[in-house]
Chain A
Amino acid sequence: MIRALLILLLSALPALAQAPDAGPWSGRFAECVHGMDAPAHMRACIGQAARLCMDETEGGHTTIGQTGCQAMEKGLWDDLLNSDWPEHRRWAEAADAAEREVFGDTFSKRAEALRSAQRAWIAFRDAECGLAYALWGSGSMRNIAASACEMQMTAERVIDLREMSEGMR
């Protein structure tokens, strides 16, 4: 199940452009997200690695460059989403197990709800970013719009799930 969800997370969207290797920016990205004392503060990190990538890469501000840099940062948030997942699952399963002792299986649905919510979010993100792509017609701006959407929504999801897990761990 975990593997299936990870595969879903990783393969949900087609790559819009070849993302550059995240190596030069992953350290600064990690510094930013790990330096925040609350999940909501991580919003300040959204777009930072992509901007650095655009500034520090030759052609980084071209359409292909911007799309690739945003796809690179989206990948960093995706990695975070995947590495957070076992922790989210753990609180849900632990709360279900504690409740099951009293109520049986009737109400212990957190782990199931978490999986369902994540699947529904992936489908929504793909559709919403597909809309961002379609809105720009046949112009190359559509690639930038779609990759920005994917980066933003994936980052927001990391933050939302961390906020939801807070106090449950």
Chain B
Amino acid sequence: MIRLGLVLSLLATASPAQEIDPDPYRALWSDCAASGAEACTGQAAAACTEAETAMGGGSWAEVACLGLETDLWLDRIAADSRALALRALAEDQSRAALDGPAVTGIAASFATAQALWQMHRDADCVLTGVRSGSGMAATVAQARCTLAETAARARWLRAWLNEGP
């Protein structure tokens, strides 16, 4: 009976149906992202959660808000990755002209590392989630982990873009 109740309650709340508009939180995130300070990660999500909770949102609102900020970081990762991939291709071509083609160029290595970073982030955050328990507690912990890991990767990529490896 407990199991059935839990499954039903999870199914009932299985998706954060409400799409939250990121615009009110974009400026807060931008300031944080521009500052490079690690401590401000999650501020946009926290402001969103506070607003959504005031309107009656529960734990799903927190998960949706964490996802909203994660998406903002992911947009930056996508833009920076494109710039880094172009730079890597140019570097590969200029090296190939001097030394002949490398066994594995920077562009291919970067693409592989980014794809495997995402798989690593997802698997680690599932682990972080289930370590915290089951059901909603795990979902919230997983979303927090995903935000933290995504923001850390975004900062690393931006530093590479601006200052070199």
Contact = CB atoms under 8 A, between A and B. Distances in A.
Given A131-B109, A164-B127, A103 B119 contact: no
Contacts of A121: 120, 123-124
A96 B149 CA distance: 25
B56 interface: no
Interface string A4-18: 000000000000000
Range of interface residues on chain B? 20 to 34
B161 interface: no
Nearest to A164: B131
| A contact patch SS | helix
B19 interface: no
A137 B99 contact: yes
A84 B67 CA distance: 33
B95 interface: yes
B113 A113 contact: no
**Which 7 pairs between the two chains have the least Cβ-Cβ distance?**
A124-B120, A120-B123, A107-B134, A134-B109, A117-B123, A131-B109, A117-B127
Interface string A114-150: 1011011101101110111111011000000000000
Contact of B135 (A107, A123, A132): A107
B165 A135 contact: yes
A109 interface: yes
Contact of A123 (B116, B127, B138, B165): B116
Contacts of A102: 2-3
5 contacts: A117-B124, A121-B124, A128-B116, A132-B165, A138-B99
Interface stretch (B24-32, B37-45, B75-83, B100-108): B100-108
Task: Point out which of A109, A114, A131, A132 has the most chain B C-beta atoms below 10 A from its C-beta.
Answer: A131
Range of interface residues on chain A? 20 to 34
Contacts of B99: 137-138
B92 to A, nearest CB: 9
A51 interface: no
B65 to A, nearest CB: 24
B117 to A, nearest CB: 6
Nearest to B104: A134
A130 B116 CA distance: 12
B117 A128 contact: yes
